[in-house]
């Protein structure tokens, strides 16, 4: 194995020991920490720097209640108990920000604006990649995550993004996980099962 640039403790925090959490300690999560997550994750690469992710952080009981009807039953308690629920969405009109984000190629905005299918594929692909950056940024800041796709996207979009170009992608509970409630971790595919060296 190559010598990692990060020390083993950092790799444990990001990967080896980091678990998906469903039970949460009562320790709150500050708005500053939420801003810090975004200020880290935004540096992860996206195609043509399109950066299509938009995030709504639900921190109050009232805000979380608005989400409740869209959640699969299995996901209700763990979400309502989490200090924060993030709605990770993407903007189908992400290209409107390209004059700022990709200033050296002014034609890029219209390439997406004139090709809605390509824009949709780009938005979903890059927002999902940014979702991975989000999880790793949160972990790097000492938080635990509980990502979820078990919800009704149409209901979330109707509640939080009516008459808007934003579409929900996935949800992520955030907080400090109760490690005593974790079940044994499931295995992953080995290198030879998942990868080819050609
Ligand atoms: C995009 C995504 C959607 C997920 N959806 C759900 C969900 O709806 N409900 C749930 O309980 N877990 C959900 N999970 C959690 C996964 O089952 C979990 O991350 C996986 O089994 C790995 O667990 P570990 O991180 O503890 O090793 C989701 C994870 C991801 C990344």
Q: Which pLDDT tens digit goes with each residue over 10-20?
A: 999 999 999 99
Q: Is 129 left (phi over 0), alpha (psi -120 to 50) or beta?
A: alpha
3-state helix, strand, coil in the chain (%, to 5): 50, 15, 35
Burial 184-198 (b: 16+ CB within 10 A, else e): eeeeeeeeeeeeeee
Which residue is associated with the tokens 């079940």?
Answer: 183
Q: How many whole angstroms from 146 Cα to the centroid of ligand 1?
A: 7
Q: Give, using CA atoms, the residue closest to atom 6 of ligand 1.
A: 148
What local confidence, expressed as pLDDT, does residue 3 receive? 85
121 lines ligand 1 (CB under 6 A): no
The H or E element containing residue 154 is: helix 153-160
Residue 90: exposure state from Cβ atoms within 10 A (0-12, 13-18, ≥19): buried
- Provide the pLDDT for residue 1: 75
| Ranges under pLDDT 70 in the chain | none
Question: What local confidence, expressed as pLDDT, does residue 117 receive?
Answer: 97
Distance, CA of 71 to CA of 92 (rounded, Å): 23
**pTM of the full structure:** 0.97
Q: What is the pLDDT of residue 72?
A: 98
- The best mutation among 67, 147, 174 to test binding of ligand 1, ranked by most ligand atoms within 8 Å of the C-beta, falls on 147
The first and second tokens of residue 77, run together, are 């308690």
Residues 101 and 80 sit within 8 Å (Cβ to Cβ): no
CB 171 within 8 A of CB 147: yes
- Order of strands across the sheet that contains 53-58: 53-58, 84-91, 166-175, 144-148
Contact 108, 98 (CB under 8 A): yes
């Amino acid at each position: 194995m190559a010598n990692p640039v990060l020390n083993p403790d950092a790799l444990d925090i990001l990967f080896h020991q980091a678990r998906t959490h469903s039970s949460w300690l009562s320790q709150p999560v500050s708005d500053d920490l939420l801003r810090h997550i975004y200020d880290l994750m935004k540096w992860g690469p996206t195609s043509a720097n399109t950066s299509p992710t938009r995030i709504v952080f639900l921190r109050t009981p009232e805000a979380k209640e608005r989400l409740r009807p869209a959640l699969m039953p299995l996901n209700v308690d763990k979400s309502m108990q989490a200090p924060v629920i993030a709605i990770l969405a993407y903007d189908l009109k992400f290209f409107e920000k390209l004059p700022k984000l990709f200033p050296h190629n002014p034609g890029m905005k219209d390439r997406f604006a004139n090709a809605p299918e390509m824009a949709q594929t780009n938005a979903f692909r890059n927002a999902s990649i940014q979702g991975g950056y989000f999880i790793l940024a949160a972990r790097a800041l000492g938080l635990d995550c509980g990502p979820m796709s078990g919800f009704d996207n149409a209901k979330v979009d109707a509640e939080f993004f009516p008459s808007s170009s934003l579409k929900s992608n996935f949800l992520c509970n955030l907080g400090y996980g109760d490690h005593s409630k974790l079940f044994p971790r499931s295995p992953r595919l080995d290198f030879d099962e998942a990868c080819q060296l050609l």
